[in-house]
A and B are shown apart, each in its own frame.
Chain A
Amino acid sequence: MVLLRLATRCAPSLRRTPAPRHAFRIVLPRGYASASENSMTVREALNAAMEEEMIRDESVFVIGEEVARYNGAYKVTKGLLDKFGEKRVIDTPITEMGFAGIATGAAMAGLRPICEFMTFNFAMQAIDQIINSAGKTNYMSGGGMNVPIVFRGPNGAAMGVGAQHSQDYASWYGQIPGLKVVSPWSAEDCKGLLKAAIRDPNPVVFLENEMLYGVSFPMSPEAMSDDFLLEIGKAKIELEGSDVTIVAHSKMVAHSLEAAEELAKEGIKAEVINLRSIRPLDIDTIKASIKKTNRLVTVEGGFPAFGVGSEICAQVIESEAFDYLDAPVERVTGADVPTPYAANLELLAFPDTQTIVKVAKRALYRTN
C-alpha cells in the first residue's frame, strides 16, 4: 500500500497542469445569482458542513487517516482539530478495515462518526464493514441497533493516478439495501447533503470528487445558513429544457451543463438533471422529464456495465415512461477498461462535453 499512497500524494502536483478535459468552466444558469452573494469551493462547503454539525451535535466526530494534524489528505478537514480537539478529530493508523470498523462500532454505541477514506479506492479494504455491518445491522437487529455513520471521501477518476485509483463506486454501494448513497456535484449539494447525511439515522456513503474540491460555486443565502439541509433521495433539475433529458451525477453534471450550452447554440433545449443521490434514486424526476422531452441520455464517470445508467435505463423501461421514449436511451460512461495511466489515453477513457453533445444529438436524430 505504501507505493499506492505515494502515488496519491503525488497527485496534487499532477493536478497543477490539468489537461483540457478537466479545464471545464462551471455554468450555473440559475436564478439566484446576484452581485452580493457568497461563493464557496466544494472543499470549503464540506468543511463547513462538518464544522456546523460538530458544533450542533457533540456526538459527531471525524475519524480517518491524517484527518487531524495533517488536515486531511485533501485538506477537507482543515482546522477541525484546532476547533474540536483530539477527542473529536481522530488520526488513526493505516488500516481501512480498522478505522471503518471502529467508526461502525462507535455508531452502534450511539455516536455519529464521519469516517473519511483518503479515497474510496482504499475503502475496498473496508467494504465488509460498510456493507455487512453498517448497512445491515439495523435490519438484522430488528431495529434494535441503528448505525448513524457517514463514510466520505473522494470517489471516481482523479487524474494520472492509474487503474487502481480511478474508480467510481456509485453503483457498488448503490446496490445495497440499508445504505444511502450520495454523489454531490456543487458546493451547495455538498453542504446540504453532507449535513443531511450526518443527521440521518442510517449509514450514508458520501461520494465526493477530487477534481471538484477546488472548484468555486455560488452559494445562496439559504445554503449559507447553519440549517441548510437537502433531502437525500431528491434530484435537482439544474437546467430546464424540452428536447432531451441528460441525467448525470458528480463531476459529469458540469460536463452535461456545458453540453447543454453547446446544444443551445443549435436550438436544442436540453434538460439537465443532477441526481445528487444514487440511493434512493429519484426516478420520478427522471420519468417526469422523459414525459416532457421523450429522450434520455445518462452520463457518469463509472464503468458502463451494471452502472448507474444501467439502473436508470432498467427502471425507465419497466415503467410507463418507456411509452414516452422516441429514441433509444444511451449511456455515456467511462470506457470499459481499467483506467489507463497514460494521460492521452486516460483523456479518452472518460466522458467529455463533446461526447455528451454528440450522444444528445443522436437521441434527437440530429447526427449521422
Chain B
Amino acid sequence: MFRTTTTTTTRLARARRAYSALHAGQKLPHTQSPIISKLDFFNSVTPKGQQIPTFRVLDGTGRILDGAECVDVDETLARRLYEHMNLLPTMDNVLYNVQRQGKISFYVTSYGEEATIIGSAAALLKDDEVLGQYRETGVLLWRGFGLDNVMAQCFGTKNDTSSKGRQMPIHFGSPEHHFHTISSPLATQIPQAAGVGYALKRSPDRRHNVAACFFGEGAASEGDFHAGLMLASTIPCPVVFIVRNNGFAISTPSSEQYNGDGIASRGPGYGIDTIRVDGNDVLAVLTAVKDARRRAQEQGRGVLVEAMSYRVGHHSTSDDSFAYRARSEVEDKKRIDNPLARFKLFLEHNGWWDEAAEEDMKARLKSDVMTAFKKAEKEQYGEVGNLFGDVYGGEVPWNLKEQRAELARLLGKYGKKWKPWESRLKRHVGQGKDVAGKDVV
C-alpha cells in the first residue's frame, strides 16, 4: 500500500515536470518543431501562402531583368544555344511528317520546350549522367550525338547505336554521351537516377559529376517520383531532378494533375533544395540548372528544378491535342511566349544576330536534317540475328539458341519462296545469312 502511494506520487511529479517543460518550449522527440497553442493549418510552403515564385532572367522583349542573376553568356555560347534550340523544331518538322507518311512508327516533338531542354543541357557537364523521359533529344544533340544517330535510331537501321534497331523511335541511349537508354514506362528513371547518383558518389574519378533526371509533371504523380526524391534525399545521392511542367500529361491538364502548388512544392517535403524557373527563358534555365547541379554535387543530395513551359506540340504522334484544347490557345502561346523568339531578341539586342544570320542558319539546319533523313531512309537494317542478341550478357542460353536454329530452318524453307520474306530480307545486312548460313538464302 505504502509502496503504491510512493509510486503514484512520483509518477504525478514526473508528469507535472514534463507538463511545465512542454510549456517552457521543450521540443518533441525526433523534431525541432516549435510548440504553439493556436490551431494553424497550412497549405503552402511559402511564408504567407503565396505560390512559389518563378525565376526569370529575360523579359518578353529579350532584355535582362534589372538585377537578375545570370551566368556569363558570350556570343559563342549564345549562338550555340540558339542554334540548338532551332535544330529541335527543324528536326521535329521533318520527323513528324515522316511519321505521318508512315515511314517511321512513332515520334515525339519538343515544340515549346526548346529553352527548357537546351538550357538544361548546357548547364550540365558533358559527362553528367542523364536519365531522360523521352522529350530530351536536345540534350543528346547538345552533346554531339548527331543527326545521323538520331535518324538511324528512328529508322532502326544498321547504324542504330542506341538499340541495334530494337526500340521504337525516340528511345535513344548512348553510353558515350552519358545518356541512359530511354525506357517507355513512365517515371522508372527517377529512382534509377538516385542509384546512378549513388554510383557516381562512390567512384573517386566521378565525384565531380551528378545524375540529371528529366520527367514531366504527369510522371511526378507516379509513386516512383516520390520514392526517387526521397531516396536521393535520405541515402543521399547527387541528382538534379528537372521536371518539365508543360501543362499536359497527354490530355490531362496540369490543373487536374495536382491540387497543390505545382511540383516544386514537393521538394521541401523531401528536404531538398528546390527552385521554380521560367522554362521558356533559356538563360533562366541555364542559370538555375547550373546552380542546382552545383548544389547537388556539393551536398551529395538531390535538388529539384521545376521548369514551367507549355507543350506546343501534340503529346506524340499517337495524340491529337486539339481534341482537348483549342487551336487558338496553342497559337496564342506560340505567339505570346515563344522561347525561340525571346532568345532571338536577346541575341539581336547584343548585336550577335540579324535576319541574314537567321536565314542562313535555317537553311543550313534544314539541309543537315534532310541529308541525315535521306541517308537513313535508304539505309539497310542490321543483321537478322540481332533479334536474339543481348537478351542476356555472357553465354547465350539454350532456349535462344533453339529459337535461332528454328528461324534458320524457316529461313531455309521460306526465305526465297515467300515474297514478303524475300523482299524484307534484302533490306537486312547479310540478308539473313548470319542466321541461316550461306547456302540457304
What 4 A-B pairs are tightest by C-beta distance, nearest first? Answer: A105-B195, A101-B191, A98-B227, A105-B192
Q: B160 — which chain A residues lie within 8 A by C-beta? A: 142
Query: Given contacts A108-B180, A108-B195, A142-B164, are A95 and B230 in contact (CB under 8 A)?
Result: yes
Least CB distance from A136 to B in Å reads 8
- Central interface residue in A98, A104, A106, A200, by most chain B CB within 10 Å: A98
Query: Given contacts A109-B129, A129-B191, A178-B391, are A141 and B162 in contact (CB under 8 A)?
Result: yes
Q: Which of B166, B200, B394 contacts A200 (CB 8 A)?
A: B394
Q: B193-208 interface mask toward A, CB cutoff 8 Å, 1 = contact, 0 = none?
A: 1111111101100000
Stretch at the interface among B54-62, B83-91, B105-113, B182-190: B182-190
Least CB distance from B85 to A in Å reads 28
Would you call B389 an interface residue if the criterion is a C-beta within 8 Å of the partner chain's C-beta atoms? yes
Interchain CB contact under 8 A, A105 and B194: yes
Least CB distance from B222 to A in Å reads 9
Q: B243 — which chain A residues lie within 8 A by C-beta? A: none
Would you call B399 an interface residue if the criterion is a C-beta within 8 Å of the partner chain's C-beta atoms? yes
Would you call B238 an interface residue if the criterion is a C-beta within 8 Å of the partner chain's C-beta atoms? no
CA distance A106 to B391 in the complex (A): 20
Interchain CB contact under 8 A, A98 and B183: no
Q: B2 — which chain A residues lie within 8 A by C-beta? A: none
Would you call A202 an interface residue if the criterion is a C-beta within 8 Å of the partner chain's C-beta atoms? yes
Would you call A144 an interface residue if the criterion is a C-beta within 8 Å of the partner chain's C-beta atoms? yes
Which bracket fits the contact residues of A?
Answer: 35 or more
Interface residues of B in 206-242 (CB under 8 A from A): 211, 223-224, 226-228, 230-231, 234-235, 237
Least CB distance from A353 to B in Å reads 32
Least CB distance from B342 to A in Å reads 35
Would you call B324 an interface residue if the criterion is a C-beta within 8 Å of the partner chain's C-beta atoms? no
| B→A interface (CB under 8 Å) | 129, 131, 160-164, 166-167, 171, 173-175, 180-181, 183-185, 188-200, 202-203, 211, 223-224, 226-228, 230-231, 234-235, 237, 389-394, 397-399
- Central interface residue in A108, A201, A283, by most chain B CB within 10 Å: A108
Would you call A99 an interface residue if the criterion is a C-beta within 8 Å of the partner chain's C-beta atoms? yes
21 A-B pairs (CB sep. < 8 Å):
A90-B235, A92-B234, A93-B231, A93-B234, A95-B227, A98-B224, A101-B224, A101-B228, A102-B198, A109-B129, A109-B199, A110-B199, A132-B183, A133-B192, A138-B392, A140-B167, A141-B390, A142-B162, A143-B389, A146-B393, A280-B397
Q: Which of A97, A111, A139, A143 contacts B191 (CB 8 A)?
A: A97
Q: B397 — which chain A residues lie within 8 A by C-beta? A: 233, 280
Interchain CB contact under 8 A, B390 and A138: yes
Q: Which of A93, A125, A145, A283 contacts B180 (CB 8 A)?
A: A145
Would you call A177 an interface residue if the criterion is a C-beta within 8 Å of the partner chain's C-beta atoms? yes
Query: Given contacts A107-B195, A111-B202, are A280 and B223 in contact (CB under 8 A)?
Result: no
CA distance A104 to B175 in the complex (A): 16
CA distance A146 to B392 in the complex (A): 9
Residue in chain A with minimal CB distance to B206 = A109
Query: Given contacts A106-B198, A128-B188, are A141 and B181 in contact (CB under 8 A)?
Result: yes
Interchain CB contact under 8 A, B391 and A138: yes
Total A-B pairs, Cβ < 8 A: 167
CA distance A345 to B17 in the complex (A): 55
Q: Which of A92, A101, A233, A283 contacts B188 (CB 8 A)?
A: A101
Interchain CB contact under 8 A, B195 and A142: no
Q: B224 — which chain A residues lie within 8 A by C-beta? A: 97-98, 101
CA distance A87 to B167 in the complex (A): 35
Q: Which of A92, A95, A98, A144 contacts B181 (CB 8 A)?
A: A144
Q: B193 — which chain A residues lie within 8 A by C-beta? A: 105
Residue in chain A with minimal CB distance to B392 = A202
Interchain CB contact under 8 A, B181 and A140: yes
Residue in chain A with minimal CB distance to B165 = A142
Q: A101-B231, A106-B198 are in contact. List 20 more A-B contacts (CB 8 A).
A: A95-B223, A101-B192, A102-B198, A102-B231, A104-B188, A104-B195, A105-B196, A128-B185, A129-B192, A132-B183, A132-B188, A137-B181, A139-B391, A140-B173, A142-B173, A142-B390, A144-B173, A146-B393, A200-B394, A201-B394
Interchain CB contact under 8 A, B399 and A280: yes
Q: A92 — which chain B residues lie within 8 A by C-beta? A: 231, 234-235
Q: Which of B175, B389, B391 contacts A145 (CB 8 A)?
A: B175
Interchain CB contact under 8 A, B227 and A143: no
Query: Given contacts A93-B234, A97-B223, A140-B163, are A106 and B173 in contact (CB under 8 A)?
Result: no
Residue in chain B with minimal CB distance to A111 = B199
Residue in chain B with minimal CB distance to A86 = B235
